């Protein structure tokens, strides 16, 4: 049974629900472990309107403790953050890493320069006027640099750039292959993030083609639902498990104290 490590809390200002409801949903779904990974603060503040502030960190630690108290041994509760990969973020991520006994840090690319390209508010404006080939080229170069940084345990939603369905023409492996090389060299784990199934792209992140390349390259993987409400914690578990098996994965990963170990990807009942 896989764990589900990419989930949010109301502290990021666009998620809802109490710790108990998230934990109950994780137990009901049969995830082996539940991890919290809300959008990390970033300086200078306020960086944007969709993350916690540095001053929210104590409340975040409390939220995790509430989840642990509610779980009371029924499911392990892991502590993480979804950090943004931004130029020159290394010192800040290292400082965040020292603030708590994290089990893992997720690195995500949501920004190209100062453009948060996955924000729906840009669909009719910036996206409509962008050269998709150029945007994808910049995105994948940024993603490879994030892998090479060595700052993160898990790399989030690998092809998030397709969220609104903007994809270049032709075979996309020309984008995937250099990124796969960088990720494999880094030793990082990637996630199969099922939120994409519920977005305009109608495909989990990353694509099946990317997953096949990643599996062949020996890149470890976790499944995550990127839940922003309790009802999203359990969805897609079996579908994601089947997808991973279909491309050749036989294991997922568990994280504790920023160390990982493999667990078998079992058949769904």
Residue ranges that bind Fe ion, judged by CB under 5 A: 82, 108, 226
Q: Rounded to the nearest whole angstrom, what is the least distance from the CB of residue 23 to Zn ion in the complex?
A: 19
Q: Rounded to the nearest whole angstrom, what is the least distance from the CB of residue 108 to Fe ion in the complex?
A: 4
Q: Which is nearer to Zn ion, 169 or 206 (CB)?
A: 206
Q: Rounded to the nearest whole angstrom, what is the least distance from the CB of residue 153 to Zn ion in the complex?
A: 15
Q: Rounded to the nearest whole angstrom, what is the least distance from the CB of residue 115 to Zn ion in the complex?
A: 17
Are the C-beta atoms of 219 and 190 separated by less than 8 Å?
yes
Does the protein bind Zn ion through residue 24 (CB under 5 A)? no
Site for Zn ion in 249-268 (CB under 5 A): none
Does the protein bind Zn ion through residue 84 (CB under 5 A)? no
Taking residues 35 to 54 in sequence order and writing x for each that binds Zn ion by CB under 5 A, - otherwise, the string is --------------------
Among residues 33, 159, 226, 232, the one that binds Zn ion under rule CB under 5 A: 226
Q: How many residues bind Zn ion (CB under 5 A)?
A: 1
Does the protein bind Zn ion through residue 159 (CB under 5 A)? no
Q: Which is nearer to Fe ion, 33 or 226 (CB)?
A: 226
Cβ atoms within 10 Å of 231's Cβ, excluding its own:
12
Q: Rounded to the nearest whole angstrom, what is the least distance from the CB of residue 81 to Fe ion in the complex?
A: 10
Q: Which is nearer to Fe ion, 108 or 189 (CB)?
A: 108
Q: Which is nearer to Zn ion, 40 or 135 (CB)?
A: 40
Q: Which is nearer to Fe ion, 108 or 253 (CB)?
A: 108
- Give 218's contacts (C-beta < 8 A, 6+ positions apart): 184
Give the max Cα distance, the chain.
51
Does the protein bind Zn ion through residue 232 (CB under 5 A)? no
Q: Which is nearer to Fe ion, 4 or 108 (CB)?
A: 108
- Give 11's contacts (C-beta < 8 A, 6+ positions apart): 38, 52, 56, 59, 60, 63
Q: Rounded to the nearest whole angstrom, what is the least distance from the CB of residue 248 to Fe ion in the complex?
A: 26
> Rounded to the nearest 5°, which phi and psi values hold at 191?
-115, 145
The site for Zn ion (CB under 5 A) is made up of: 226
């Amino acid at each position: 049974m896989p764990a589900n490590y990419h989930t949010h809390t109301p502290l990021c200002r666009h998620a809802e629900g109490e710790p108990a409801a998230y934990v109950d949903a994780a137990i009901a779904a049969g995830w082996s472990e539940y991890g919290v990974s809300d959008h990390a603060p970033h300086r200078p503040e306020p960086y944007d309107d969709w993350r916690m502030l540095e001053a929210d960190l104590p409340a975040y630690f409390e939220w995790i403790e509430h989840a642990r108290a509610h779980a009371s041994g029924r499911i392990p509760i892991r502590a993480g953050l979804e950090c943004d990969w931004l130029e020159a973020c290394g010192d800040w991520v290292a400082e965040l890493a020292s603030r708590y006994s994290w089990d893992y840090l997720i690195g995500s690319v949501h920004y190209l320069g100062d453009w948060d390209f996955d924000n729906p508010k840009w669909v009719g404006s910036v996206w409509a006027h962008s050269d998709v080939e150029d945007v994808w080229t910049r995105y994948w170069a940024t993603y490879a640099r994030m892998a090479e940084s060595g700052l993160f345990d898990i790399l989030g939603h690998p092809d998030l750039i397709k969220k609104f369905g903007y994809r270049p023409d032709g075979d996309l492996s020309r984008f995937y292959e250099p990124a796969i090389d960088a990720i494999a060299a880094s030793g990082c784990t990637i996630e199969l993030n099922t939120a994409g199934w519920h977005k305009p792209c109608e495909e989990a992140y990353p694509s099946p083609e990317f997953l096949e390349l990643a599996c062949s390259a020996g890149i470890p993987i976790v499944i995550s639902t990127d839940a922003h409400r309790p009802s999203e914690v359990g969805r897609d578990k079996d579908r994601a498990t089947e997808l991973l098996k279909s491309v050749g994965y036989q294991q997922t990963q568990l994280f504790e104290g920023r160390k990982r170990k493999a667990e078998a990807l079992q058949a769904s009942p």
